Structure 1
């Protein structure tokens, strides 16, 4: 019975993202029927295989190739990457800091990246400049948090959290200053909309840059997930079991920071994913981080993909992702609190 339930869960977690991945190609303002969308995807795969003897007749308009392969495909992949990355970062941080209310933004990376993006929009407007400054200042914010925590010649989790609050507040003030001096007719609306989060401008070239970094960091966190179980019981116990807590803390912080910074670079600031998804995973598989992290990856990818599908199809004007994740995430988290699903039991 237990084995059957296990394989059912595995099948569901593998099949659900594949199903949502395919279905998302059908959704959008430009109507494409499921059969044609699948034919376009299969034809593109066949064309990518050298000397493939199979071919599919091109019976659909060329514009559909552009919509499916150059607009929807990178957006769908970006949504799944960002959702998976934020979810596993939140789960890793919750185990590291032993706090169920921790999110990937706790160390100031989102505020730092937000200031970098706002500065890029203010001085240039080029997407390359905006993304470069967002990533740079996101890393700067976390480095500042870590160095501030090192004032105590150690990095206890509470001091790191407090330092993150300080750095985050500073960069939030800098974002407000950037908005204050921005042109209210062009630059200010662009900054505000970017802060709300969106995947509308994602292109294939963006995936070539962020995709490998996010995937590598996710793999590293998955490989060390069993050690997060040990870290979650406390530094003293982890040291007694032979774990180098300082090194493991640094690895987790670096991987989660790179994931979050890269996510913010292409999608803006999207909240609640890294906070709520790990709790849903914990409800499904229990408190074992060997299971929580991979399940968080799957649920996070599916969750943000569904939210993005809703954002681009619900109304004529696209709804910012940050608004939808908050509207959906806040009631879900309230439900978890009401029924005491938030915690380590």
Structure 2
């Protein structure tokens, strides 16, 4: 069923046993990298002490670490590492869902305008000094408006080709960039403008536990719903008529997928700003590992996205004395990798 996804980068089919081995291996890798992220930085903490500090919250362990080590982990590194997991997994999951639903391997939250629309919504909320909950709501509305316009243009043109959808995303992205420029122009240079630039470049430096309390529940619920719908995504990939024959309410399923994927992207923007390439490249990497079946692809994409984002965050805060914006690193890695995929698979964009 998953083989019928248009533009699939890999026709690979693997057994359930092999899939379980790959998935368990990725989860173990993600857990290991999670602890490395807590230990590594400009202030290095021994990995044994890192694990002991966390376990001490549950078990009575005699301290062998300093209070500074514990403060660095709980106040700085733990919130941003959890955020990296949520953002990477969320963007990868939304990208895989969009690609499967639109049967288009070039689709991603970035190309559909979701990220830029969510960034505009968040920037407007920042401009009016609104709270984190309102920022998330406005980001979601902005992302939903952007993706709705992108999807509507091909329908108005009576052209549902891959190229038309990509061009629609370019049009909407250009429009959103212009609107974003206007918002920055009228923003206060001493307060709101600096925070807007933070959103545009992408960073986890300012994430704390309070931010996670607001955003994480929405991301977890939206992600869980998308994972529940992964079989229906397989059915949608067969075509609308076949899906209806199998008893799937196509309009309802598409609506749920768009809302959940957009909420994931908007929530990621709320936490760290605009981060490109994750939702485009990671699903393709997942297909190379487990094939196009969404029942296997979506869970793997979540774990791969989390691993990728944690590694990007470690690089951003460890490579130089000044922390690098996340979008710079994801672009430097994502663009060449995606170009490699295009060459390797000889994929046509039309």
TM-score, normalised by the number of residues in structure 2: 0.85
Please name the residue that 2:34 is paired with: 21
- Give, in angstroms, the shift of residue 132 of structure 1: 5.2
- Give, in angstroms, the shift of residue 261 of structure 1: 0.6
**Equivalent pair of 1:100/1:342 in contact (CA under 8 Å):** no
Give deviations 1:201-247, integer Å, cap 9, x for gaps.
11111111211211111111111111111211222222232221111
**Equivalent pair of 1:89/1:274 in contact (CA under 8 Å):** yes
3-state DSSP of counterpart to 1:339: helix
**Equivalent pair of 1:135/1:265 in contact (CA under 8 Å):** no
From 278, 291, 295, the equivalent of 1:290 is 295
> 1-side partners of 2:177 and 2:15: how far apart?
49
Please name the residue that 1:169 is paired with: 174
3-state DSSP of counterpart to 1:23: helix
1:58 aligns with 2:55: no
Change (3 A) 1:58 1:174: same
1:75 aligns with 2:80: yes
Give deviations 1:43-79, integer Å, cap 9, x for gaps.
12x1xxxxxxx41123432222221012111111110
- Give, in angstroms, the shift of residue 317 of structure 1: 0.5
Give deviations 1:2-57, integer Å, cap 9, x for gaps.
7774453233122111111111111111221112111111112x1xxxxxxx4112
Change (3 A) 1:34 1:205: same
**Equivalent pair of 1:97/1:157 in contact (CA under 8 Å):** no
Please name the residue that 2:25 is paired with: 12
Give deviations 1:297-332, integer Å, cap 9, x for gaps.
110110111111111111101011111111000111
For structure 2, the residue ranges without an aligned partner over 5 or more in a row are 1-13
Please name the residue that 1:276 is paired with: 281
3-state DSSP of counterpart to 2:345: coil
Please name the residue that 2:242 is paired with: 237
Bigger shift: residues 303-312 or 98-107: 98-107
Please name the residue that 1:35 is paired with: 48
From 322, 327, 330, the equivalent of 2:332 is 327
**Equivalent pair of 1:104/1:274 in contact (CA under 8 Å):** yes
> 1-side partners of 2:251 and 2:17: how far apart?
40
Structure with larger RCO (C-alpha < 8 A, sep 6+)? 2
Change (3 A) 1:226 1:2: closer
Change (3 A) 1:126 1:155: farther
Please name the residue that 1:51 is paired with: none
> 2-side partners of 1:163 and 1:99: how far apart?
13
Please name the residue that 2:5 is paired with: none
Change (3 A) 1:306 1:258: same
> 2-side partners of 1:315 and 1:340: how far apart?
35
After superposition, the CA RMSD in angstroms is 3.0
> 2-side partners of 1:255 and 1:298: how far apart?
18
**Equivalent pair of 2:223/2:260 in contact (CA under 8 Å):** yes
> 2-side partners of 1:77 and 1:14: how far apart?
15
Query: Superposition pairs for residues 2-151 of structure 1, below 5 Å?
Result: 5-44=18-57, 46=58, 54-124=59-129, 130-131=135-136, 133-142=138-147
Bigger shift: residues 194-203 or 29-38: 29-38
Change (3 A) 1:217 1:187: closer
TM-score, normalised by the number of residues in structure 1: 0.86
Change (3 A) 1:244 1:131: closer
- Give, in angstroms, the shift of residue 88 of structure 1: 0.9
> 1-side partners of 2:154 and 2:342: how far apart?
34
For structure 1, the residue ranges without an aligned partner over 5 or more in a row are 47-53
Please name the residue that 2:218 is paired with: 213
